Protein backbone atom coordinates (compact mmCIF):
# COMPACT_ATOMS: atom_id res chain seq x y z
CA UNK A 1 0.00 0.00 0.00
CA UNK A 2 2.92 2.36 0.57
CA UNK A 3 3.79 2.47 -3.14
CA UNK A 4 0.31 3.83 -3.89
CA UNK A 5 0.85 6.65 -1.37
CA UNK A 6 4.40 7.44 -2.46
CA UNK A 7 3.64 9.64 -5.49
CA UNK A 8 1.18 11.94 -3.69
CA UNK A 9 3.66 12.41 -0.85
CA UNK A 10 6.53 13.22 -3.19
CA UNK A 11 4.31 15.48 -5.30
CA UNK A 12 3.33 17.33 -2.14
CA UNK A 13 7.01 17.75 -1.25
CA UNK A 14 7.68 19.16 -4.71
CA UNK A 15 4.69 21.50 -4.47
CA UNK A 16 5.85 22.68 -1.07
CA UNK A 17 9.29 23.52 -2.41
CA UNK A 18 7.85 25.43 -5.38
CA UNK A 19 5.50 27.29 -3.03
CA UNK A 20 8.38 28.24 -0.71
CA UNK A 21 10.32 29.61 -3.69
CA UNK A 22 7.22 31.55 -4.75
CA UNK A 23 6.75 32.91 -1.22
CA UNK A 24 10.35 34.16 -1.20
CA UNK A 25 9.67 36.45 -4.15
CA UNK A 26 6.12 37.51 -3.33
CA UNK A 27 4.93 40.64 -1.52
CA UNK A 28 4.90 40.23 2.27
CA UNK A 29 1.26 39.28 2.91
CA UNK A 30 1.02 36.96 -0.08
CA UNK A 31 4.43 35.52 0.82
CA UNK A 32 3.25 34.68 4.33
CA UNK A 33 0.08 32.98 3.05
CA UNK A 34 1.97 31.05 0.39
CA UNK A 35 4.62 30.07 2.97
CA UNK A 36 1.90 28.69 5.24
CA UNK A 37 0.47 26.72 2.31
CA UNK A 38 3.97 25.37 1.59
CA UNK A 39 4.40 24.30 5.22
CA UNK A 40 1.03 22.51 5.10
CA UNK A 41 2.14 20.71 1.92
CA UNK A 42 5.33 19.52 3.59
CA UNK A 43 3.56 18.48 6.79
CA UNK A 44 0.99 16.44 4.84
CA UNK A 45 3.74 14.80 2.77
CA UNK A 46 5.65 13.77 5.90
CA UNK A 47 2.42 12.47 7.50
CA UNK A 48 1.74 10.31 4.43
CA UNK A 49 5.28 8.98 4.36
CA UNK A 50 5.14 8.20 8.07
CA UNK A 51 1.73 6.49 7.89
CA UNK A 52 2.50 4.58 4.70
CA UNK A 53 -0.91 5.53 3.31
CA UNK A 54 -2.81 8.61 2.26
CA UNK A 55 -3.93 10.48 5.35
CA UNK A 56 -7.00 12.70 5.21
CA UNK A 57 -7.87 11.82 1.58
CA UNK A 58 -10.98 14.04 1.56
CA UNK A 59 -8.87 16.99 2.67
CA UNK A 60 -6.31 16.06 -0.01
CA UNK A 61 -8.98 16.28 -2.72
CA UNK A 62 -10.03 19.70 -1.43
CA UNK A 63 -6.42 20.76 -0.99
CA UNK A 64 -5.62 19.75 -4.56
CA UNK A 65 -8.52 21.83 -5.89
CA UNK A 66 -7.60 24.78 -3.67
CA UNK A 67 -3.96 24.43 -4.74
CA UNK A 68 -4.91 24.60 -8.42
CA UNK A 69 -7.19 27.60 -7.89
CA UNK A 70 -4.67 29.35 -5.65
CA UNK A 71 -1.80 28.85 -8.05
CA UNK A 72 -4.02 30.13 -10.86
CA UNK A 73 -4.70 33.24 -8.79
CA UNK A 74 -0.97 33.70 -8.18
CA UNK A 75 -0.29 33.29 -11.89
CA UNK A 76 -2.86 35.95 -12.79
CA UNK A 77 -1.73 38.41 -10.10
CA UNK A 78 1.99 38.17 -10.78
CA UNK A 79 3.96 36.35 -8.04
CA UNK A 80 3.94 33.07 -10.00
CA UNK A 81 5.39 32.48 -13.47
CA UNK A 82 3.95 30.03 -16.00
CA UNK A 83 6.41 27.18 -15.45
CA UNK A 84 5.97 27.09 -11.64
CA UNK A 85 2.20 27.28 -12.20
CA UNK A 86 2.31 24.27 -14.50
CA UNK A 87 4.40 22.33 -11.97
CA UNK A 88 1.96 23.18 -9.17
CA UNK A 89 -0.95 22.23 -11.41
CA UNK A 90 0.57 18.81 -12.13
CA UNK A 91 1.42 18.21 -8.47
CA UNK A 92 -1.95 19.29 -7.08
CA UNK A 93 -3.96 17.58 -9.80
CA UNK A 94 -2.14 14.28 -9.26
CA UNK A 95 -2.54 14.52 -5.47
CA UNK A 96 -6.29 15.09 -5.86
CA UNK A 97 -6.63 12.19 -8.33
CA UNK A 98 -4.68 9.85 -6.02
CA UNK A 99 -6.92 10.87 -3.12
CA UNK A 100 -10.06 10.21 -5.18
CA UNK A 101 -8.71 6.76 -6.10
CA UNK A 102 -8.01 6.12 -2.41
CA UNK A 103 -11.53 7.18 -1.42
CA UNK A 104 -13.06 4.94 -4.10
CA UNK A 105 -10.95 2.00 -2.93
CA UNK A 106 -12.06 2.55 0.67
CA UNK A 107 -15.68 2.76 -0.47
CA UNK A 108 -15.31 -0.49 -2.46
CA UNK A 109 -13.79 -2.24 0.58
CA UNK A 110 -16.78 -1.25 2.73
CA UNK A 111 -19.34 -2.80 0.39
CA UNK A 112 -19.76 -6.50 1.04
CA UNK A 113 -18.69 -8.48 -1.98
CA UNK A 114 -21.25 -11.06 -3.04
CA UNK A 115 -19.98 -14.58 -3.62
CA UNK A 116 -16.34 -13.63 -3.66
CA UNK A 117 -13.53 -14.70 -1.42
CA UNK A 118 -11.39 -11.98 0.11
CA UNK A 119 -8.37 -11.20 -2.00
CA UNK A 120 -5.10 -12.40 -0.49
CA UNK A 121 -2.83 -9.60 0.66
CA UNK A 122 0.32 -9.39 -1.37
CA UNK A 123 3.54 -8.58 0.31
CA UNK A 124 5.63 -6.07 -1.60
CA UNK A 125 9.31 -6.55 -1.99
CA UNK A 126 11.80 -3.90 -0.98
CA UNK A 127 13.12 -3.81 -4.56
CA UNK A 128 9.76 -2.76 -6.00
CA UNK A 129 9.48 0.01 -3.43
CA UNK A 130 13.01 1.22 -4.14
CA UNK A 131 12.43 1.29 -7.90
CA UNK A 132 9.15 3.18 -7.44
CA UNK A 133 10.82 5.63 -5.06
CA UNK A 134 13.68 6.36 -7.46
CA UNK A 135 11.44 6.79 -10.51
CA UNK A 136 8.94 8.99 -8.69
CA UNK A 137 11.68 11.10 -7.09
CA UNK A 138 13.20 11.63 -10.53
CA UNK A 139 9.81 12.73 -11.88
CA UNK A 140 9.34 15.20 -9.03
CA UNK A 141 12.85 16.55 -9.61
CA UNK A 142 12.20 16.86 -13.35
CA UNK A 143 9.01 18.84 -12.68
CA UNK A 144 10.17 20.92 -9.69
CA UNK A 145 13.65 21.92 -10.86
CA UNK A 146 12.56 24.05 -13.85
CA UNK A 147 9.79 25.52 -11.70
CA UNK A 148 12.27 26.49 -8.99
CA UNK A 149 14.62 27.97 -11.58
CA UNK A 150 11.76 30.02 -13.08
CA UNK A 151 10.74 31.47 -9.71
CA UNK A 152 12.00 34.87 -8.60
CA UNK A 153 14.26 33.17 -6.06
CA UNK A 154 15.67 31.01 -8.84
CA UNK A 155 16.33 33.99 -11.06
CA UNK A 156 18.71 35.44 -8.47
CA UNK A 157 20.46 32.16 -7.67
CA UNK A 158 24.10 31.97 -8.70
CA UNK A 159 24.56 29.47 -11.53
CA UNK A 160 26.29 26.26 -10.51
CA UNK A 161 29.88 25.97 -11.60
CA UNK A 162 30.63 29.68 -11.46
CA UNK A 163 33.20 31.13 -9.15
CA UNK A 164 32.11 33.34 -6.29
CA UNK A 165 34.54 36.21 -6.11
CA UNK A 166 35.55 37.06 -2.59
CA UNK A 167 34.02 33.95 -0.99
Q: Tens of pLDDT along 110-119?
A: 776 555 555 5
| Mean pLDDT, rounded, for 18-33 | 93
Q: Tens of pLDDT along 50-90?
A: 998 999 999 999 999 999 999 999 999 988 999 999 999 99
Task: Please tell me the distance from the alpha carbon of residue 43 to that of residue 39, in angstroms, as a whole number.
Answer: 6
Residue 164 vs residue 139, higher pLDDT? 139
Instruction: Pick the range with the lowest mean pLDDT from 26-40, 129-143, 147-161.
Output: 147-161
Whether the full predicted model's pTM is greater than 0.95, yes or no, is no
Q: Is the confidence at residue 38, as pLDDT, over 80?
A: yes
Share of the chain above pLDDT 70, in %: 86
Please report which confidence band the pLDDT of residue 109 belongs to, taking 50, 70 and 90 as the band edges. confident
Amino acid sequence: MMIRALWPALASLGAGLVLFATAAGAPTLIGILVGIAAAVELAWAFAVLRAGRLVMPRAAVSGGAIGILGSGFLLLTGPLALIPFLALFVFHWSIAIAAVVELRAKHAERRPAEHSAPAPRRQRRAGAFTIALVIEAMLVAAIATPALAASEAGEFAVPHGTLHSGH
